[in-house]
Chains A and B, each alone.
Chain A
Amino acid sequence: MGKAILHREGAVMILGGGIAGIQAALDMTELGYYVYLVEKSAAVGGVMAQLDKTFPTNDCSL
């Protein structure tokens, strides 16, 4: 089993792809860094993706 080593200068690892991780990832990319967003489940989104509407405006959470 081969072992891939990835090396990008100025990279950050974000552990957890919920709303916090996603926002941090977006900000870091915009700030000019390469981001590894590492998520343990099969898709990012976390708990917020399970929500229908959000408090207090009852906006859709997508």
Chain B
Amino acid sequence: MVTNADLLALEGKPGNFTAKLNIRPRYIDADACTACGLCTQYCPKHHVDPYNEGLAITRPIHIDYAQAVPATYYIDPSSCMYLQHDTCQICVPVCQSHAINFNQKPEARDLKIGAVILSPGFGKIAPETLEKYGYGKHPDIVTAFEYERMTTASGPFLGEIKCFSDGRHPKSMAFIQCVGSRDIGCNNGYCSSVCCMYAIKEALVTKEHDPDVDITIYYMDIRTQGKDFDAARERAEAIGIKFVRAKVADVTPWENHLKLTYSTLDGQHKFESHDMVVLSVGLESPKDAEKIADITKIDLNHYNFCKTDTFSPLQTSQEGIVVAGAFQGPKDIPESVTQSSGAASLASSVLKQQRGKGTVSKEYPEELVVTDDDEVRIGVFVCHCGINISSVVDCPEVAEDAGGMENVTYYTENLYSCSQDAQEQIKNTIKEKKLNRVVIAACSPRTHEPLFQETLKDAGLNRNLFEMVNIRDQCSWVHANEPEEATAKSKDLVRMAVSKAAHIQPLPEQTVPVTPKAVVLGGGVAGMTAALSLADQGFDSVIVEKSAKIGGNLQNLKNTLAGDEVAGYLKTLTDNVKKSKRIDVITDGRLAQTSGFVGNFASVIESGKGTKKKELTVDHGVIVVATGGHEHRPDKYLLGKSKKVLTQQELEKQLAGRAKNRAPDSIVMIQCAGSRGDDLNYCSKVCCNHAIKNILKIKEINPASQIIVLYRDMRTYGYAEDAYLEARKKGVIFIPYEVDRKPEVSQKSGKVQVDFFDSIMQEEVSFNPDLVALSVGVVPDGTAELSKMLKLPVTANGFFLEAHVKLRPVELAVEGVYVCGLAHGPKPVDETIVQAQAAAAKAAIPLVKGYVKVDPIVSSVEKDACIGCGICVSLCPYGAIQMIKVDKKRKAETISASCKACGICASHCPTFAISMGGFTNEQLVSQIEAFGNKKVEEKVVA
């Protein structure tokens, strides 16, 4: 990790680049700094804190935030008295570890590298654009970034929302959308694709703070097209957040309020007064985009973001240099994370010859042997989580309470137990105090248990000699208004954990080898891209395609919105798949059965029908689910009943044909004809773009064609906004409809008639177009069956549910199984390609390693107590228990590597012969007893 560094030059070619860096001095020796913070306390000079968006004051010598990595302070030379004026140096004697060094000089460093991933992020909207909305004229007009810091519990206002002008709590707030986006006035014609989401989030958070505050979001279109994002919008509406479709003209201070002038769709000018106005600012290309382009010789697009193609969305114009994140185009966290994994896949193929040659594997100290004979020495660490826990729970009291318990040799509190310095401290304490059990009371083990277990390993302790108590979610969050009870509950939970900890035993770590092969389910663009990407990285795969031919939905498309020709791309893709020695394709195939676990799956693949039916068993290490989806066919708007009603896909086909009247003179398009609550309870993400694409084609063939689009929100996010603007310039009429006033389609004497309410003219309209095109939405293919077979969770809408929607977007709950394409959610082809590349990167990880670690919390059978009844075998959902013969008696035995530690077997064993590692009966009973203990005491006291 090289921080404070600028890239000055990049030379060479793929596989052999040299990057020249300039590393600016921190003026603090990173190895010596303990991040104690004393220097900041003594530094006399003020420094506007950019981390808090200028809402707070820090000192030139500071750290951005407590959990910053590296956990080292630094001096910002722009305001340091010594570096600017040669005076002061107070910090030097203050620092106990003598870490401050004003003699540090900029360092030049050359890196020899094989590939480059560009992920410089995004830039901020220029102040001139914000000034149009009164920003800078009145303190209560803030940007959404500033507001985010204001609402943050660990931010400068500790989460208190107040007007800057006079400190009052705002009673009425406005969010203005599309500030610096969809605005050709500031040359940002694109949609920033994230602002609608964060505005809704911030509005919901505000309502959590103060349910009485009145919130209005002024918008043009609400673009919550992401997976399950619409649900949050509906939630926001349900709790009273108002959505007003309007364009805000200006914001002017008016007494101690702010007056918004806005115009609505029907041409009215209205005024509204608010206490506070939040500007939902867009994302711009990074400030140094041009510099990066100069150095790396990559091309930028017309908005100064990195230029890429629909079919190779992460490849820059320079070989060996790939891009990920917002620099490729404005996008949210899951999209960025997906692109990063995809970029890793591409970079990995560039470098595959050198894989594993430059890395150093981490070595752990030898594990301390802990036996029953050893004295139990428990250390208890209570985390404040900044103020996330400590503002509600009395952490010192909790720690002290635990300190008084038997076997507890040490107890303390941490501000952030997860921070790097706290980790070091825990590690050292384990060694110094000879701790052999560790209890940490902090946040969720779901996110942080692995981190703390790693710390134990670093200190030479088995990672299972650890108990974690969630006093954040279970105490400070849910009992935020009852601090005393929350503290009492924390004490209970910690006491229980300590009692259990006294009984926990080290569990051995196991590893099993991996079969380096993938099974890819689905031969559409997602499956093919994933298989090719794995092949590029040196791994074999088998594509199982259910139809007679690979190609999937791309076979139904002619062009992309950006104008790329699909057939040519599809041909190259299928040819590459067929040519690849690393890819086997099974058409007419289906997965009949899968057993095993990550690294060691065995699948039975059936293919053909009748006499040609074949079965093939494949051993493989990973599964990529790319089963795709198809166009939904709603039973409404006369679809299938009238020849004049088509879906967008059918229209696209017609437009590509040679029919004379293929682009008729009048067309009505109805958006959300299936999606968003009609048939499908979600936004299908692709239909708006699909409609615009067809519109531009129609206008190309028949410029006189009159086109009316009836829509709810036009979701032409990202660069697709350009095409939407072009359609409007060509005279296409866009009319929004409300969900309780949907258009109706009827047929009279061979003519179709569309009746709708024109929300612009405010009148009912009847129209007889030559053609009606429906945007019908996307549904997944066969996810229910596969979900049962592979035990994969699906969402309420039938798409596969990823392991973590933000941070693990292509992994599924079952280890070794990855998802991409329409099986994950509706998405356009470029996003599908990225996701397939990302899935390939994730799938390659266990294949590269060659082994997988087995979680030691598995069930084990005590053979003497087992009566061989076999109940456990019949109940195990993972086939992880088998019956064996021991001295001619039937006994159960766990297959550790398949066991998921669900505990069903243990809870059903009639003789209590099965116990779960880390959850033995003895441990659980002691936990329950510890909970009971307090109640008895309380009664006595009372």
Interface residues of chain A, those whose CB is within 8 Å of chain B, are 1, 3-24, 27-34, 36-62
Contact = CB atoms under 8 A, between A and B. Distances in A.
Interface stretch (B111-119, B521-529, B640-648): B111-119
B119 A14 contact: yes
A55 B229 contact: yes
Main SS of the interface on chain A?
A: mixed
B357 interface: yes
B111 A13 contact: yes
A4 B355 contact: no
A36 B121 contact: no
For the complex of A and B, list the 6 residue pairs with the smallest distance between their C-beta atoms, beginning with the closest: A20-B325, A10-B354, A56-B232, A8-B358, A27-B344, A34-B358
B325 A44 contact: no
Contact of A49 (B21, B65, B224, B232): B65
B919 interface: no
Interface of B: 1-7, 17, 19, 21, 26, 51, 53, 63-65, 67-70, 72, 74, 105, 107-122, 145, 148-149, 151-155, 197-198, 200-201, 204-205, 224, 228-229, 231-232, 288, 292, 324-327, 332-333, 336-337, 339-341, 343-345, 347-348, 351, 353-359, 388, 418, 443, 447, 537, 805-807, 841-842, 844-845, 848-849
Task: Give the most central of B3, B200, B229, B807: most A CB within 10 Å.
Answer: B3
Contacts of B842: 27
A45 B333 contact: no
Nearest to B357: A9
B324 A20 contact: yes
A54 B355 contact: no
A11 B112 contact: yes
Nearest to B331: A20
Contact of B117 (A24, A41, A54, A56): A24
B284 to A, nearest CB: 12
A32 B343 contact: no
Contacts of A49: 51, 64-65, 67-68
Contacts of A5: 109-110, 112
Contacts of A21: 117, 119, 324-325, 340
Contacts of B443: 60
A11 B15 CA distance: 9
Task: Give the most central of B67, B109, B229, B345: most A CB within 10 Å.
Answer: B109
B806 to A, nearest CB: 6
A10 B114 contact: yes
B111 A6 contact: yes
Given A18-B325, A23-B340, A23-B341, A30 B845 contact: yes
A62 B26 CA distance: 25
B357 A52 contact: no
Contacts of B109: 3-6
Nearest to A27: B344
Contact of B116 (A13, A52, A57): A13
B205 A23 contact: no
Contacts of B327: 16, 20
Contacts of B115: 12-13
B108 A3 contact: yes
B848 A31 contact: yes
Contacts of A28: 117, 344, 347-348
B125 to A, nearest CB: 13
Contacts of A14: 116-117, 119
A42 B64 contact: yes
A10 B355 contact: yes
Contacts of B205: 52-53, 58
Contact of B841 (A4, A31, A48, A59): A31
Contacts of A4: 107-110
A13 B354 contact: no
A43 B351 contact: no
12 contacts: A1-B105, A4-B110, A20-B337, A20-B340, A23-B807, A28-B344, A30-B849, A38-B2, A39-B4, A48-B333, A56-B231, A62-B447
Nearest to A49: B65
A10 B231 contact: no
Nearest to B232: A56
B7 A34 contact: no
Contacts of A36: 1-2, 19, 111, 113
Contacts of B65: 43, 45, 49
Contacts of A27: 340-341, 344-345, 841-842, 845
Contacts of B355: 10, 31-33
B266 to A, nearest CB: 31
A24 B67 CA distance: 20
A10 B53 contact: no
A21 B228 CA distance: 26
Contacts of A3: 108-110
A57 B205 CA distance: 11
Contacts of A22: 340
Contacts of B105: 1
Contacts of A9: 354, 357-358
B89 to A, nearest CB: 20
A30 to B, nearest CB: 5
Contacts of A29: 359
B238 to A, nearest CB: 14
A24 B341 CA distance: 6
Contacts of B111: 6, 11, 13, 36
A43 B121 CA distance: 14
Given A19-B325, A31-B841, A12 B116 contact: yes
